[in-house]
Amino acid sequence: MLDGTTATIKPREALRINPAKTCQPIGAMYAALGLHGCMPHSHGSQGCCAYHRSHLTRHFKEPVVATSSSFTEGASVFGGLANMTQALNNIFTIYNPEVVAVHTTCLSEVIGDDIPMMIKKATEEGIIPNGKVVIHANTPSFVGSHVTGFANMVTAMVKYLSESTGLTQTQKEANRRLNIIPGFIDPSDMRELKRIAEGMGVGFILFPDTSGVLDLPQDGHYRMFPGGGATVEQIKAAGDSLATLALGHFTSRPAAEELDEKCGVPAALLDLPIGLTNTDRFIHALRNYGGVDVPATLGEERGRLLDAMSDLHQYFHGKRVAVSGDPDHVIALTQFLVDLDMQPAFVITGSMGNHFETRIREILAEQVPDAVVEQNTDLFALHQWIKNKPVDVIIGNTYSKYISRVENIPFVRFGFPTLDRMGHRYFPSVGYMGALRLMEKINDALLDKHERECADEYFELVH
């Protein structure tokens, strides 16, 4: 039943089967959870909000809160102003968040609801209490993907909140504070980015920040608004920072560019710090802009990674890999696979953007010039390519496991969503330590298959 994919490839223009993406509001909702005391609000039907919450909950294994404008037939015809007004009144009366982050859905976008007007009207009528904040992002599900929605919500944070107080360049250099926009990564990854920056003695504002929100310890108490997340004051202050490190072209660049245009904060655009090369670049940027030295502890972490890469090279060398997922994740992971002397043969994303194909081809130009690289494609196409030219390992989100099972190919879970495992919430993939964990997972998958299938005389105690 799992193998409904044929090896015969036929052109498809109007159909996606198992797209390697989901819809914008999911990304917007996740970004909003990275604001301290924030209630994400879905301006649309209850069903949309319920799906977005459940998808995030299944990935993070943590309850995800959000409210809805609860559209019915009347709102669909006459617009959602009354629903939004009532919703904001209920939210602040019952839940009392610091921030409400509104994102739209297909229905409200098709109607053409004017969200800024609704927020302005609610403010004038006193529905939004003094000191509270409402921001919004337009996130129609029929355009882009969850990656786009995340980027749009982070950009909205800058548009609504970031301010420049007119500090001179000399004052900014004396302050030496950086903004770090981390991209669509797990709480464990955001925590690791902060650990690296703090270890280097760099002053920084990281936003959004879901660490301390979606990775809480169990202490017997439920908190609707946990202690984590970037505060409104921090995002306001981001307008006076020396520079912004935007990690990921698709998820972080738009907000960094908005911050530059609005507040004059220059941006350094980097790939996600996954693997050796990209972590080196991130640490170099922190050192450069922060005016600090790299501590010996980070040098030791890098050395341990290099040692492991040397030890495991015999298992990785020349292995063909199929990679799928979010574009920023896949770009960074592809670079790491090249560092490991592996061969990314098929590299895809379900999201759109020509930068993806351009950047991947730059990375693979010397090592795998004949790799198949495609944006805006799906796992059905990936499965067909694998049937025609098998690979040694598949790396992608949980949906890739069906290909792995049918074709008996080792599978490494990586990226969003990971619905059937839970370690990603606690163990980072970024930084040198994250790279070590990824290597372990890849190596274990390869050796597990070897030991499961090899003849008795090759079933070794020691590898």
Catalytic amino acids? 106, 110
Q: Where in 250-305 does DSSP place strands (E)?
A: 267-270
- DSSP element (H, E) containing 380: helix 379-388
Q: What's the order of all strands across the beta sheet hosting 177-181?
A: 203-206, 177-181, 243-247, 267-270
Rg of the Cα atoms in the chain: 23
Burial 6-16 (b: 16+ CB within 10 A, else e): eeeeeeeeeee
- Dmax (CA) for the chain in angstroms is 79
What residue type is 443 in one-letter code?
Answer: N
Give me 253's structure tokens.
Answer: 């660049």
Q: How many whole angstroms separate alpha carbon 99 and alpha carbon 309? A: 45
Q: How many whole angstroms separate alpha carbon 41 and alpha carbon 29? A: 8
Give me 293's structure tokens.
Answer: 């030295």
- DSSP element (H, E) containing 259: helix 253-263
Q: What is the DSSP string of 170-214?
A: HHHHHH-EEEEE--S--HHHHHHHHHHHHHTT-EEEE-S--TTTS
Give me 180's structure tokens.
Answer: 């770090």
Burial 271-309 (b: 16+ CB within 10 A, else e): bbbbbbbbbebbbebbeebbebebeeebeebbeebeebb
Closest residue by Cα to residue 265 from 423, 188, 355, 158? 158
Residue 384, class by beta-carbon neighbours within 10 Å (0-12 exposed, 13-18 middle, 19+ buried)? middle
Burial 448-462 (b: 16+ CB within 10 A, else e): ebeeeeeeeeeeeee
